[in-house]
Structure 1
Amino acid sequence: MAEKEKKVGFVRSVFNEMKLVTWPSKKQLRKDTLVVIESSIIFAALFAVMDFGISKGIGLLIKK
Protein backbone atom coordinates (compact mmCIF):
# COMPACT_ATOMS: atom_id res chain seq x y z
CA MET A 1 0.00 0.00 0.00
CA ALA A 2 2.89 2.37 0.66
CA GLU A 3 4.00 2.12 -2.99
CA LYS A 4 0.58 3.29 -4.20
CA GLU A 5 0.64 6.22 -1.76
CA LYS A 6 4.07 7.26 -3.06
CA LYS A 7 2.80 7.24 -6.63
CA VAL A 8 -0.31 9.23 -5.74
CA GLY A 9 1.78 11.72 -3.77
CA PHE A 10 4.15 12.10 -6.71
CA VAL A 11 1.31 12.77 -9.15
CA ARG A 12 -0.23 15.31 -6.77
CA SER A 13 3.07 17.12 -6.39
CA VAL A 14 3.49 17.21 -10.18
CA PHE A 15 0.05 18.78 -10.59
CA ASN A 16 0.82 21.34 -7.87
CA GLU A 17 4.12 22.28 -9.51
CA MET A 18 2.46 22.59 -12.92
CA LYS A 19 0.09 25.17 -11.45
CA LEU A 20 3.12 27.31 -10.56
CA VAL A 21 4.62 27.24 -14.06
CA THR A 22 4.53 30.50 -16.00
CA TRP A 23 3.59 29.54 -19.54
CA PRO A 24 4.57 31.78 -22.48
CA SER A 25 1.91 33.57 -24.47
CA LYS A 26 1.16 32.46 -28.02
CA LYS A 27 2.96 35.53 -29.34
CA GLN A 28 6.10 34.82 -27.30
CA LEU A 29 6.01 31.13 -28.20
CA ARG A 30 5.76 31.96 -31.91
CA LYS A 31 8.63 34.46 -31.63
CA ASP A 32 10.88 31.99 -29.76
CA THR A 33 10.06 29.21 -32.24
CA LEU A 34 11.06 31.43 -35.16
CA VAL A 35 14.34 32.31 -33.44
CA VAL A 36 15.13 28.61 -33.02
CA ILE A 37 14.26 27.81 -36.65
CA GLU A 38 16.26 30.76 -37.99
CA SER A 39 19.25 29.87 -35.80
CA SER A 40 19.12 26.26 -36.96
CA ILE A 41 19.11 27.32 -40.62
CA ILE A 42 22.00 29.74 -40.10
CA PHE A 43 24.13 27.18 -38.26
CA ALA A 44 23.33 24.48 -40.86
CA ALA A 45 24.47 26.82 -43.63
CA LEU A 46 27.60 27.79 -41.69
CA PHE A 47 28.54 24.15 -41.08
CA ALA A 48 27.86 23.29 -44.73
CA VAL A 49 30.20 26.06 -45.90
CA MET A 50 32.86 25.02 -43.38
CA ASP A 51 32.53 21.36 -44.41
CA PHE A 52 32.85 22.26 -48.08
CA GLY A 53 35.91 24.42 -47.41
CA ILE A 54 37.63 21.81 -45.28
CA SER A 55 36.88 19.09 -47.84
CA LYS A 56 38.34 21.17 -50.66
CA GLY A 57 41.38 22.10 -48.56
CA ILE A 58 42.11 18.49 -47.64
CA GLY A 59 41.56 17.53 -51.29
CA LEU A 60 44.19 20.05 -52.38
CA LEU A 61 46.65 18.79 -49.76
CA ILE A 62 46.20 15.17 -50.81
CA LYS A 63 46.74 15.94 -54.52
CA LYS A 64 50.12 17.55 -53.84
Structure 2
Amino acid sequence: MATKSTNKTEETKGGLGRYFRGVKSEFKKVVWPSKETVIKYSTIVIVAVILSSLLLLAYDRIVMFIFGFIY
Protein backbone atom coordinates (compact mmCIF):
# COMPACT_ATOMS: atom_id res chain seq x y z
CA MET A 1 0.00 0.00 0.00
CA ALA A 2 1.42 3.35 -0.96
CA THR A 3 1.61 6.04 1.67
CA LYS A 4 1.60 9.73 1.01
CA SER A 5 4.15 11.63 3.00
CA THR A 6 3.33 15.29 3.41
CA ASN A 7 4.84 17.92 5.57
CA LYS A 8 2.20 19.38 7.91
CA THR A 9 3.87 22.78 8.05
CA GLU A 10 3.59 23.15 4.28
CA GLU A 11 -0.15 22.34 4.34
CA THR A 12 -1.04 24.84 7.06
CA LYS A 13 1.39 27.57 6.06
CA GLY A 14 -0.59 30.76 5.60
CA GLY A 15 -3.86 28.94 6.16
CA LEU A 16 -5.53 31.48 8.43
CA GLY A 17 -4.37 34.48 6.40
CA ARG A 18 -5.43 32.81 3.18
CA TYR A 19 -8.82 32.04 4.71
CA PHE A 20 -9.47 35.67 5.68
CA ARG A 21 -8.30 36.93 2.28
CA GLY A 22 -10.79 34.53 0.71
CA VAL A 23 -13.57 35.75 2.99
CA LYS A 24 -12.75 39.36 2.12
CA SER A 25 -12.85 38.64 -1.60
CA GLU A 26 -16.17 36.81 -1.27
CA PHE A 27 -17.70 39.71 0.68
CA LYS A 28 -16.81 42.01 -2.21
CA LYS A 29 -18.98 39.84 -4.48
CA VAL A 30 -22.08 40.09 -2.25
CA VAL A 31 -24.88 42.34 -3.48
CA TRP A 32 -26.41 43.86 -0.36
CA PRO A 33 -30.08 44.93 -0.44
CA SER A 34 -31.02 48.57 -0.09
CA LYS A 35 -32.49 49.97 3.11
CA GLU A 36 -35.92 50.26 1.50
CA THR A 37 -35.87 46.62 0.44
CA VAL A 38 -34.91 45.45 3.94
CA ILE A 39 -37.71 47.54 5.48
CA LYS A 40 -40.25 46.25 2.96
CA TYR A 41 -39.33 42.58 3.42
CA SER A 42 -39.15 42.93 7.21
CA THR A 43 -42.64 44.47 7.24
CA ILE A 44 -43.98 41.61 5.14
CA VAL A 45 -42.47 39.04 7.51
CA ILE A 46 -43.81 40.78 10.62
CA VAL A 47 -47.32 41.04 9.14
CA ALA A 48 -47.23 37.38 8.06
CA VAL A 49 -46.16 36.29 11.56
CA ILE A 50 -48.93 38.32 13.19
CA LEU A 51 -51.58 36.99 10.80
CA SER A 52 -50.48 33.39 11.19
CA SER A 53 -50.42 33.70 14.99
CA LEU A 54 -53.94 35.16 14.96
CA LEU A 55 -55.10 32.31 12.74
CA LEU A 56 -53.51 29.78 15.07
CA LEU A 57 -55.14 31.48 18.07
CA ALA A 58 -58.56 31.32 16.39
CA TYR A 59 -58.06 27.64 15.56
CA ASP A 60 -57.03 26.92 19.15
CA ARG A 61 -60.09 28.72 20.54
CA ILE A 62 -62.41 26.81 18.20
CA VAL A 63 -60.89 23.45 19.12
CA MET A 64 -61.03 24.27 22.84
CA PHE A 65 -64.69 25.30 22.46
CA ILE A 66 -65.52 22.00 20.76
CA PHE A 67 -63.64 19.99 23.39
CA GLY A 68 -65.53 21.91 26.07
CA PHE A 69 -68.72 20.19 24.96
CA ILE A 70 -67.10 16.76 24.92
CA TYR A 71 -65.62 16.90 28.41
Q: For structure 2, which runs of at least 5 residues remain unmatched after alignment? A: 1-8
Q: Structure 1 length as normaliser, TM-score?
A: 0.81
Greater helix share, structure number: 1
1:37-61 deviation per Cα after TM superposition (whole angstroms, max 9, x unaligned): 1111101101111111111112211
Larger radius of gyration: 2
* One-letter identity of the residue aligned with 1:26: K
Once the two structures are aligned, what percentage of the paired residues are identical?
A: 28
Mapping of residues 19-58 of structure 1, within 5 Å: 19-58=28-67
- CA root-mean-square deviation: 1.5
Aligned residues between the structures: 61
1:6 shift after superposition: 2.0
